Amino acid sequence: DTEVTQTPKHLVMGMTNKKSLKCEQHMGHRAMYWYKQKAKKPPELMFVYSYEKLSINESVPSRFSPECPNSSLLNLHLHALQPEDSALYLCASSQDRLAGFTDTQYFGPGTRLTVL
């Protein structure tokens, strides 16, 4: 079963709010990803966790804070966002078997975020 779940499906927040996005996978994958996607554009990588450690941070502003509580869960904490942060936020996971080997990334359905 190649399923990645994300909650909530939709989120509307003000610029002073604090909210969190949640992602879960039960495929035994050891790498998890956060992407941001604007309409009609390819996804932009934000963060990668490998074996529950932050592996890649693509110079994302600190108002986005990732967390990987365990190998199945990935959170993205949001604080003081700007309207331009409105986008579809996608989570993905992959096996992360060997260094230098590209594993297939499986995506969740995304959270549609609107910042007012």
Partner 1 sequence: AQSVTQPDIHITVSEGASLELRCNYSYGATPYLFWYVQSPGQGLQLLLKYFSGDTLVQGIKGFEAEFKRSQSSFNLRKPSVHWSDAAEYFCAVNAGNNRKLIWGLGTSLAVNP
Centre a 10 Å sphere on the Cβ of residue 100 and count the other Cβ atoms it contains.
4
Q: How far is the CB of 56 from partner 1 (least distance, A)?
A: 6
Q: How far is the CB of 80 from partner 1 (least distance, A)?
A: 27
Q: How far is the CB of 102 from partner 1 (least distance, A)?
A: 4
User: In terms of residues, how long is the chain?
Assistant: 116
Centre a 10 Å sphere on the Cβ of residue 56 and count the other Cβ atoms it contains.
13
Binding residues vs partner 1 (CB under 8 A): 2, 4, 6, 31, 33, 40-43, 45, 48, 50, 55-56, 88, 90, 92, 94, 96-110, 112
Q: Parallel, antiparallel, or unpaired for β 44-50 and 31-37?
A: antiparallel
